[in-house]
Structure 1
Amino acid sequence: MNVDQLTKLLEDVKNNECDVNTALELLKTLPYEDLSYAKVDHHRELRNGYPEVIYSPGKTLDQIKGIVENMMKRSKGNILASRADRDVFEAIKSVTSDAIYYEAARSVVVKREEYKTTDDYILVVTAGTADIPVAEETAVTATVMGNQVKRLYDVGVAGIHRLLDNVAIINHAKTVIVVAGMEGALASVVGGLCDKPIIAVPTSIGYGANFGGISALLGMLTSCASGIAVVNIDNGFGAACMASKINKL
Protein backbone atom coordinates (compact mmCIF):
# COMPACT_ATOMS: atom_id res chain seq x y z
CA MET A 1 0.00 0.00 0.00
CA ASN A 2 1.55 3.30 -1.09
CA VAL A 3 0.88 6.81 0.26
CA ASP A 4 -1.87 7.54 -2.29
CA GLN A 5 -3.66 4.31 -1.45
CA LEU A 6 -3.37 5.05 2.25
CA THR A 7 -4.76 8.56 1.76
CA LYS A 8 -7.71 7.20 -0.20
CA LEU A 9 -8.36 4.58 2.49
CA LEU A 10 -8.47 7.26 5.18
CA GLU A 11 -10.82 9.37 3.06
CA ASP A 12 -13.08 6.36 2.54
CA VAL A 13 -13.27 5.81 6.29
CA LYS A 14 -13.99 9.49 6.87
CA ASN A 15 -16.79 9.41 4.27
CA ASN A 16 -18.20 6.16 5.68
CA GLU A 17 -17.39 4.36 2.43
CA CYS A 18 -15.20 1.89 4.32
CA ASP A 19 -15.81 0.66 7.87
CA VAL A 20 -13.07 0.90 10.50
CA ASN A 21 -12.61 -2.88 10.90
CA THR A 22 -12.02 -3.31 7.17
CA ALA A 23 -9.53 -0.42 7.20
CA LEU A 24 -7.64 -1.98 10.10
CA GLU A 25 -7.38 -5.27 8.22
CA LEU A 26 -5.91 -3.42 5.23
CA LEU A 27 -3.49 -1.47 7.42
CA LYS A 28 -2.12 -4.74 8.78
CA THR A 29 -0.52 -5.39 5.40
CA LEU A 30 1.40 -2.12 5.27
CA PRO A 31 4.96 -2.74 4.07
CA TYR A 32 8.09 -3.26 6.12
CA GLU A 33 11.08 -0.98 5.67
CA ASP A 34 14.04 -2.48 3.82
CA LEU A 35 17.44 -1.51 5.28
CA SER A 36 19.21 -4.06 3.02
CA TYR A 37 20.52 -6.01 6.03
CA ALA A 38 17.13 -6.05 7.78
CA LYS A 39 13.50 -5.66 6.79
CA VAL A 40 12.02 -3.82 9.75
CA ASP A 41 8.41 -4.81 10.32
CA HIS A 42 6.84 -1.64 11.70
CA HIS A 43 3.32 -3.02 11.78
CA ARG A 44 3.93 -6.23 13.68
CA GLU A 45 2.27 -4.74 16.75
CA LEU A 46 -0.89 -4.08 14.75
CA ARG A 47 -0.97 -7.69 13.52
CA ASN A 48 0.37 -9.61 16.51
CA GLY A 49 -0.08 -7.30 19.48
CA TYR A 50 3.64 -6.66 20.03
CA PRO A 51 6.22 -4.65 18.09
CA GLU A 52 9.22 -6.32 16.53
CA VAL A 53 11.96 -7.26 19.01
CA ILE A 54 15.64 -7.05 18.06
CA TYR A 55 17.43 -10.37 18.58
CA SER A 56 21.00 -9.19 19.11
CA PRO A 57 23.25 -12.24 18.47
CA GLY A 58 24.48 -12.46 14.87
CA LYS A 59 23.99 -8.76 14.19
CA THR A 60 26.79 -6.21 14.06
CA LEU A 61 26.64 -3.22 16.37
CA ASP A 62 26.12 -0.92 13.40
CA GLN A 63 23.20 -3.04 12.21
CA ILE A 64 21.59 -2.93 15.65
CA LYS A 65 22.05 0.84 15.81
CA GLY A 66 20.52 1.21 12.36
CA ILE A 67 17.47 -0.86 13.29
CA VAL A 68 16.95 1.09 16.50
CA GLU A 69 17.25 4.43 14.70
CA ASN A 70 14.75 3.29 12.08
CA MET A 71 12.25 2.05 14.67
CA MET A 72 12.51 5.29 16.63
CA LYS A 73 11.57 7.28 13.53
CA ARG A 74 8.40 5.28 12.99
CA SER A 75 7.17 4.76 16.54
CA LYS A 76 7.12 6.52 19.89
CA GLY A 77 6.85 3.28 21.82
CA ASN A 78 9.40 1.24 23.72
CA ILE A 79 11.95 -0.90 21.87
CA LEU A 80 13.34 -4.19 23.19
CA ALA A 81 16.64 -5.83 22.22
CA SER A 82 17.07 -9.36 23.56
CA ARG A 83 20.19 -11.41 24.33
CA ALA A 84 22.18 -8.20 24.46
CA ASP A 85 25.61 -7.84 26.04
CA ARG A 86 27.10 -4.60 27.33
CA ASP A 87 28.60 -3.77 23.92
CA VAL A 88 25.11 -3.85 22.42
CA PHE A 89 23.87 -1.62 25.24
CA GLU A 90 26.65 0.92 24.67
CA ALA A 91 25.89 0.93 20.94
CA ILE A 92 22.20 1.61 21.53
CA LYS A 93 23.08 4.15 24.22
CA SER A 94 25.04 6.08 21.59
CA VAL A 95 21.81 6.39 19.60
CA THR A 96 19.50 7.33 22.48
CA SER A 97 19.90 8.22 26.13
CA ASP A 98 16.62 6.37 26.82
CA ALA A 99 18.40 2.99 26.69
CA ILE A 100 18.28 0.90 29.87
CA TYR A 101 20.32 -2.27 30.36
CA TYR A 102 18.80 -5.12 32.36
CA GLU A 103 21.99 -7.06 32.88
CA ALA A 104 20.51 -10.18 34.50
CA ALA A 105 17.99 -10.45 31.67
CA ARG A 106 20.56 -9.61 28.97
CA SER A 107 18.01 -7.17 27.58
CA VAL A 108 18.12 -3.54 26.48
CA VAL A 109 14.98 -1.42 26.52
CA VAL A 110 14.69 1.95 24.83
CA LYS A 111 12.16 3.24 27.32
CA ARG A 112 10.27 6.17 25.83
CA GLU A 113 7.01 5.62 27.69
CA GLU A 114 6.06 4.12 31.04
CA TYR A 115 5.34 0.40 31.05
CA LYS A 116 1.66 -0.38 31.05
CA THR A 117 0.49 -2.99 33.51
CA THR A 118 -2.40 -5.34 34.24
CA ASP A 119 -4.49 -6.12 37.31
CA ASP A 120 -3.77 -9.84 36.93
CA TYR A 121 -0.16 -10.91 37.21
CA ILE A 122 2.18 -13.36 35.60
CA LEU A 123 4.27 -15.34 38.08
CA VAL A 124 7.79 -16.37 37.07
CA VAL A 125 9.12 -19.29 39.11
CA THR A 126 12.60 -20.80 39.02
CA ALA A 127 13.90 -24.09 40.31
CA GLY A 128 17.31 -22.63 41.16
CA THR A 129 19.34 -19.46 41.27
CA ALA A 130 21.24 -20.59 38.16
CA ASP A 131 17.97 -20.38 36.19
CA ILE A 132 17.51 -16.68 36.98
CA PRO A 133 19.07 -15.28 33.74
CA VAL A 134 16.41 -17.04 31.65
CA ALA A 135 13.74 -16.10 34.19
CA GLU A 136 14.77 -12.45 34.11
CA GLU A 137 14.57 -12.41 30.31
CA THR A 138 11.04 -13.71 30.79
CA ALA A 139 10.12 -11.19 33.48
CA VAL A 140 11.56 -8.15 31.72
CA THR A 141 9.96 -9.09 28.40
CA ALA A 142 6.56 -9.58 30.02
CA THR A 143 6.91 -6.25 31.85
CA VAL A 144 7.80 -4.37 28.67
CA MET A 145 4.78 -5.99 27.01
CA GLY A 146 2.53 -4.37 29.61
CA ASN A 147 2.00 -6.97 32.31
CA GLN A 148 2.26 -7.02 36.07
CA VAL A 149 4.96 -9.59 36.89
CA LYS A 150 5.86 -11.26 40.17
CA ARG A 151 8.89 -13.46 40.85
CA LEU A 152 9.37 -16.59 42.94
CA TYR A 153 12.96 -17.79 42.67
CA ASP A 154 14.91 -20.81 43.95
CA VAL A 155 12.03 -23.06 44.98
CA GLY A 156 13.08 -26.28 43.25
CA VAL A 157 12.09 -29.81 44.21
CA ALA A 158 15.34 -30.45 46.11
CA GLY A 159 13.76 -28.36 48.88
CA ILE A 160 10.07 -28.73 48.18
CA HIS A 161 9.04 -26.94 51.42
CA ARG A 162 10.23 -23.67 49.84
CA LEU A 163 7.62 -24.05 47.13
CA LEU A 164 4.84 -25.19 49.47
CA ASP A 165 5.34 -22.08 51.59
CA ASN A 166 4.38 -19.99 48.54
CA VAL A 167 1.29 -21.76 47.20
CA ALA A 168 -0.87 -18.65 47.69
CA ILE A 169 1.12 -16.47 45.27
CA ILE A 170 0.94 -19.31 42.72
CA ASN A 171 -2.81 -19.73 43.08
CA HIS A 172 -3.52 -16.02 42.63
CA ALA A 173 -1.53 -15.70 39.39
CA LYS A 174 -3.29 -15.58 36.01
CA THR A 175 -0.46 -17.53 34.39
CA VAL A 176 2.62 -19.25 35.82
CA ILE A 177 5.93 -19.56 33.99
CA VAL A 178 8.17 -22.28 35.43
CA VAL A 179 11.87 -22.04 34.55
CA ALA A 180 13.93 -25.11 35.41
CA GLY A 181 17.01 -27.01 34.33
CA MET A 182 18.37 -30.38 35.52
CA GLU A 183 15.47 -32.82 35.03
CA GLY A 184 12.81 -30.08 34.84
CA ALA A 185 10.60 -31.64 37.52
CA LEU A 186 9.40 -28.34 38.98
CA ALA A 187 6.89 -27.77 36.16
CA SER A 188 5.08 -31.01 37.04
CA VAL A 189 4.96 -30.15 40.71
CA VAL A 190 3.60 -26.64 40.13
CA GLY A 191 1.13 -28.06 37.60
CA GLY A 192 -0.20 -30.37 40.30
CA LEU A 193 -0.68 -27.54 42.79
CA CYS A 194 -2.79 -25.04 40.87
CA ASP A 195 -5.45 -24.61 38.20
CA LYS A 196 -3.53 -21.95 36.22
CA PRO A 197 -2.00 -22.34 32.76
CA ILE A 198 1.64 -23.38 33.18
CA ILE A 199 4.26 -22.40 30.64
CA ALA A 200 7.39 -24.47 31.20
CA VAL A 201 10.82 -23.20 30.15
CA PRO A 202 13.59 -25.83 30.17
CA THR A 203 17.03 -24.35 30.73
CA SER A 204 20.45 -25.59 29.72
CA ILE A 205 21.53 -25.65 33.37
CA GLY A 206 22.67 -29.07 34.59
CA TYR A 207 25.37 -31.71 34.59
CA GLY A 208 26.36 -33.83 31.58
CA ALA A 209 23.26 -36.01 31.35
CA ASN A 210 21.21 -32.85 31.16
CA PHE A 211 22.45 -32.64 27.53
CA GLY A 212 22.27 -28.86 27.44
CA GLY A 213 18.63 -28.75 28.47
CA ILE A 214 17.29 -31.69 26.49
CA SER A 215 16.57 -33.76 29.62
CA ALA A 216 14.56 -30.88 31.12
CA LEU A 217 12.76 -30.37 27.82
CA LEU A 218 11.78 -34.03 27.54
CA GLY A 219 10.79 -34.18 31.20
CA MET A 220 8.47 -31.22 30.77
CA LEU A 221 7.01 -32.57 27.53
CA THR A 222 6.22 -35.92 29.19
CA SER A 223 4.81 -34.41 32.38
CA CYS A 224 1.79 -36.21 33.84
CA ALA A 225 0.41 -32.89 35.15
CA SER A 226 -2.26 -31.41 32.88
CA GLY A 227 -2.34 -27.86 31.58
CA ILE A 228 1.40 -27.52 30.89
CA ALA A 229 2.75 -26.07 27.64
CA VAL A 230 6.48 -26.14 26.90
CA VAL A 231 8.65 -23.68 24.96
CA ASN A 232 12.15 -24.20 23.61
CA ILE A 233 15.27 -24.49 25.74
CA ASP A 234 16.23 -21.17 27.39
CA ASN A 235 13.39 -19.41 25.52
CA GLY A 236 12.29 -17.00 28.21
CA PHE A 237 11.24 -14.51 25.54
CA GLY A 238 8.80 -16.94 23.91
CA ALA A 239 7.31 -17.87 27.27
CA ALA A 240 6.73 -14.20 28.09
CA CYS A 241 4.96 -13.61 24.77
CA MET A 242 2.60 -16.53 25.36
CA ALA A 243 1.94 -15.60 28.99
CA SER A 244 1.21 -12.01 28.00
CA LYS A 245 -1.42 -13.11 25.50
CA ILE A 246 -3.07 -15.33 28.13
CA ASN A 247 -2.90 -12.63 30.79
CA LYS A 248 -4.68 -10.11 28.54
CA LEU A 249 -7.51 -12.36 27.37
Structure 2
Amino acid sequence: MRLLLVNANTSQNITEKLAIEARLSLPADWQLSTATGTFGAAVIQTRRDCAIAEHACIEAVEAHVADHAEGCDAVVVGVSLDTGLWALRESLTVPVVGLLEASLLTACLVGGRYGLVVMGPQTVPLYRELVERHGLAARLAGIEAIAAGAPAVHAAPEQFELSLVEASNRLVADGAECVILVGAVVAGLHRRLQSRVSVPLLDGMACAVNQACGLARLELPRAEADKTAPG
Protein backbone atom coordinates (compact mmCIF):
# COMPACT_ATOMS: atom_id res chain seq x y z
CA MET A 1 0.00 0.00 0.00
CA ARG A 2 1.12 3.56 -0.62
CA LEU A 3 0.83 6.77 1.41
CA LEU A 4 1.15 10.14 -0.33
CA LEU A 5 2.59 12.96 1.75
CA VAL A 6 1.80 16.33 0.18
CA ASN A 7 3.50 19.54 1.32
CA ALA A 8 1.46 22.53 0.17
CA ASN A 9 4.31 25.03 0.43
CA THR A 10 7.27 25.19 -1.93
CA SER A 11 10.06 24.13 0.45
CA GLN A 12 11.47 20.79 -0.66
CA ASN A 13 13.60 20.62 2.47
CA ILE A 14 10.42 20.71 4.57
CA THR A 15 9.00 17.85 2.51
CA GLU A 16 12.16 15.83 3.11
CA LYS A 17 12.12 16.54 6.85
CA LEU A 18 8.49 15.49 7.14
CA ALA A 19 9.14 12.37 5.06
CA ILE A 20 11.86 11.24 7.46
CA GLU A 21 9.41 11.45 10.35
CA ALA A 22 6.60 9.84 8.32
CA ARG A 23 8.72 6.78 7.56
CA LEU A 24 9.28 6.17 11.27
CA SER A 25 5.52 5.66 11.71
CA LEU A 26 4.80 3.96 8.38
CA PRO A 27 3.73 0.29 8.62
CA ALA A 28 6.17 -2.21 7.13
CA ASP A 29 3.90 -3.08 4.22
CA TRP A 30 3.45 0.56 3.15
CA GLN A 31 5.51 2.74 0.82
CA LEU A 32 5.80 6.54 0.96
CA SER A 33 5.54 8.99 -1.93
CA THR A 34 5.86 12.76 -1.64
CA ALA A 35 4.62 15.81 -3.53
CA THR A 36 5.52 19.47 -2.99
CA GLY A 37 3.69 22.64 -4.03
CA THR A 38 5.15 24.36 -7.07
CA PHE A 39 3.94 27.89 -6.29
CA GLY A 40 3.04 30.03 -3.29
CA ALA A 41 4.81 30.58 0.01
CA ALA A 42 7.96 28.80 1.09
CA VAL A 43 6.47 28.64 4.60
CA ILE A 44 2.72 29.13 5.11
CA GLN A 45 2.05 31.74 7.80
CA THR A 46 -0.91 33.91 6.75
CA ARG A 47 -4.46 33.56 5.42
CA ARG A 48 -3.21 34.73 2.02
CA ASP A 49 -0.53 32.04 2.09
CA CYS A 50 -3.20 29.46 2.94
CA ALA A 51 -5.47 30.54 0.11
CA ILE A 52 -2.72 30.19 -2.49
CA ALA A 53 -1.33 27.00 -0.97
CA GLU A 54 -4.72 25.29 -1.10
CA HIS A 55 -4.62 25.57 -4.89
CA ALA A 56 -0.99 24.40 -4.92
CA CYS A 57 -1.84 21.43 -2.70
CA ILE A 58 -4.70 20.25 -4.92
CA GLU A 59 -2.58 20.66 -8.05
CA ALA A 60 0.36 18.76 -6.53
CA VAL A 61 -1.85 15.80 -5.59
CA GLU A 62 -3.60 15.70 -8.95
CA ALA A 63 -0.26 15.84 -10.77
CA HIS A 64 1.12 12.99 -8.67
CA VAL A 65 -1.93 10.79 -9.24
CA ALA A 66 -1.81 11.51 -12.97
CA ASP A 67 1.91 10.71 -13.24
CA HIS A 68 2.01 7.56 -11.10
CA ALA A 69 0.06 4.49 -12.13
CA GLU A 70 0.04 3.09 -8.60
CA GLY A 71 -1.75 6.17 -7.25
CA CYS A 72 -2.09 6.09 -3.45
CA ASP A 73 -4.17 4.46 -0.74
CA ALA A 74 -4.20 7.44 1.65
CA VAL A 75 -3.01 11.06 1.75
CA VAL A 76 -1.44 13.07 4.56
CA VAL A 77 -1.51 16.84 4.15
CA GLY A 78 1.92 17.81 5.48
CA VAL A 79 1.04 21.33 6.59
CA SER A 80 0.17 22.13 10.18
CA LEU A 81 -2.64 24.45 9.06
CA ASP A 82 -4.34 21.52 7.25
CA THR A 83 -4.23 23.50 4.01
CA GLY A 84 -6.32 21.85 1.28
CA LEU A 85 -7.65 19.13 3.59
CA TRP A 86 -11.37 19.56 2.95
CA ALA A 87 -10.97 20.15 -0.79
CA LEU A 88 -8.95 16.95 -1.17
CA ARG A 89 -11.48 14.97 0.86
CA GLU A 90 -14.18 16.17 -1.50
CA SER A 91 -12.29 15.13 -4.62
CA LEU A 92 -10.50 11.91 -3.61
CA THR A 93 -11.90 8.48 -2.78
CA VAL A 94 -9.04 7.57 -0.39
CA PRO A 95 -8.63 8.79 3.22
CA VAL A 96 -7.12 12.28 3.59
CA VAL A 97 -5.71 13.32 6.97
CA GLY A 98 -4.30 16.67 8.13
CA LEU A 99 -1.49 17.12 10.62
CA LEU A 100 -3.38 19.36 13.04
CA GLU A 101 -6.65 17.47 12.80
CA ALA A 102 -4.87 14.18 13.50
CA SER A 103 -3.06 15.72 16.47
CA LEU A 104 -6.26 17.18 17.93
CA LEU A 105 -8.17 13.94 17.63
CA THR A 106 -5.30 11.98 19.16
CA ALA A 107 -5.08 14.52 21.98
CA CYS A 108 -8.75 13.96 22.76
CA LEU A 109 -8.07 10.24 23.16
CA VAL A 110 -5.04 10.85 25.38
CA GLY A 111 -6.40 13.44 27.82
CA GLY A 112 -9.27 15.74 28.60
CA ARG A 113 -7.68 19.09 27.63
CA TYR A 114 -4.79 19.79 25.30
CA GLY A 115 -2.47 22.67 24.45
CA LEU A 116 -0.67 23.79 21.29
CA VAL A 117 2.88 25.08 20.94
CA VAL A 118 3.08 26.94 17.62
CA MET A 119 5.77 28.78 15.68
CA GLY A 120 5.24 32.55 15.54
CA PRO A 121 2.74 34.74 17.41
CA GLN A 122 1.17 35.77 14.09
CA THR A 123 -0.11 32.23 13.56
CA VAL A 124 -2.06 32.01 16.84
CA PRO A 125 -5.34 33.39 15.40
CA LEU A 126 -5.10 30.96 12.48
CA TYR A 127 -4.74 27.98 14.79
CA ARG A 128 -7.60 29.16 17.02
CA GLU A 129 -9.83 29.39 13.95
CA LEU A 130 -8.75 25.95 12.80
CA VAL A 131 -9.41 24.38 16.20
CA GLU A 132 -12.89 25.93 16.04
CA ARG A 133 -13.43 24.55 12.54
CA HIS A 134 -12.49 21.08 13.74
CA GLY A 135 -15.07 21.45 16.54
CA LEU A 136 -12.60 20.93 19.39
CA ALA A 137 -12.26 24.40 20.93
CA ALA A 138 -13.96 23.38 24.19
CA ARG A 139 -11.02 21.14 25.08
CA LEU A 140 -8.29 23.65 24.23
CA ALA A 141 -6.32 24.65 27.34
CA GLY A 142 -4.30 27.28 25.49
CA ILE A 143 -1.82 28.14 22.76
CA GLU A 144 1.80 29.11 23.34
CA ALA A 145 3.73 30.77 20.50
CA ILE A 146 7.49 30.68 20.07
CA ALA A 147 9.05 33.51 18.07
CA ALA A 148 11.67 31.41 16.30
CA GLY A 149 12.28 31.07 12.56
CA ALA A 150 14.42 28.36 10.97
CA PRO A 151 17.69 30.36 11.06
CA ALA A 152 17.36 30.93 14.80
CA VAL A 153 16.50 27.28 15.36
CA HIS A 154 19.61 26.08 13.56
CA ALA A 155 21.82 28.69 15.20
CA ALA A 156 20.76 27.84 18.76
CA PRO A 157 19.03 24.43 18.83
CA GLU A 158 19.45 23.97 22.59
CA GLN A 159 17.78 27.31 23.30
CA PHE A 160 14.99 26.42 20.88
CA GLU A 161 14.37 23.12 22.62
CA LEU A 162 14.37 24.86 25.99
CA SER A 163 11.75 27.28 24.65
CA LEU A 164 9.58 24.33 23.57
CA VAL A 165 9.89 22.70 26.98
CA GLU A 166 9.07 25.92 28.84
CA ALA A 167 6.07 26.62 26.61
CA SER A 168 4.81 23.06 27.07
CA ASN A 169 5.13 23.27 30.83
CA ARG A 170 3.24 26.58 30.90
CA LEU A 171 0.39 24.84 29.12
CA VAL A 172 0.51 22.01 31.64
CA ALA A 173 0.25 24.60 34.42
CA ASP A 174 -2.84 25.96 32.65
CA GLY A 175 -4.51 22.55 32.67
CA ALA A 176 -3.28 20.80 29.50
CA GLU A 177 -3.20 17.01 29.87
CA CYS A 178 -1.22 16.63 26.65
CA VAL A 179 0.65 19.07 24.39
CA ILE A 180 0.86 19.18 20.58
CA LEU A 181 4.11 20.47 19.09
CA VAL A 182 3.00 22.18 15.88
CA GLY A 183 5.08 22.78 12.75
CA ALA A 184 7.59 21.07 10.46
CA VAL A 185 10.52 22.54 12.37
CA VAL A 186 9.54 20.52 15.46
CA ALA A 187 8.91 17.22 13.66
CA GLY A 188 10.38 14.41 15.73
CA LEU A 189 11.38 16.58 18.69
CA HIS A 190 8.68 15.08 20.90
CA ARG A 191 10.94 12.07 21.48
CA ARG A 192 13.87 14.21 22.61
CA LEU A 193 11.80 16.43 24.87
CA GLN A 194 9.29 14.01 26.41
CA SER A 195 11.36 13.36 29.53
CA ARG A 196 11.29 17.10 30.34
CA VAL A 197 7.50 17.48 30.18
CA SER A 198 5.12 15.66 32.53
CA VAL A 199 2.32 15.06 30.00
CA PRO A 200 2.35 13.35 26.58
CA LEU A 201 3.89 15.34 23.72
CA LEU A 202 2.25 14.74 20.34
CA ASP A 203 3.81 15.03 16.89
CA GLY A 204 1.49 15.81 13.99
CA MET A 205 3.18 13.57 11.45
CA ALA A 206 3.22 10.52 13.72
CA CYS A 207 -0.47 11.04 14.50
CA ALA A 208 -1.45 11.63 10.87
CA VAL A 209 0.43 8.65 9.41
CA ASN A 210 -1.06 6.25 11.93
CA GLN A 211 -4.57 7.56 11.36
CA ALA A 212 -4.30 7.64 7.55
CA CYS A 213 -3.01 4.07 7.32
CA GLY A 214 -5.59 2.87 9.84
CA LEU A 215 -8.43 4.47 7.89
CA ALA A 216 -7.21 2.91 4.64
CA ARG A 217 -7.27 -0.53 6.25
CA LEU A 218 -10.88 -0.01 7.33
CA GLU A 219 -11.87 0.31 3.64
CA LEU A 220 -14.79 2.61 4.45
CA PRO A 221 -16.89 4.21 1.71
CA ARG A 222 -16.46 7.95 1.33
CA ALA A 223 -18.79 10.00 3.51
CA GLU A 224 -21.07 12.24 1.45
CA ALA A 225 -23.40 14.78 3.03
CA ASP A 226 -26.31 14.16 0.67
CA LYS A 227 -26.16 10.43 1.47
CA THR A 228 -25.58 10.61 5.21
CA ALA A 229 -27.91 13.47 6.15
CA PRO A 230 -31.06 12.31 7.99
CA GLY A 231 -34.12 12.06 5.78
Shorter-chain TM range is: 0.3 to 0.5
What TM-score does the superposition give when structure 1 sets the normalisation length? Answer: 0.31
Higher relative contact order (Cα pairs below 8 Å, separated by 6+ residues): 2
What TM-score does the superposition give when structure 2 sets the normalisation length? Answer: 0.32
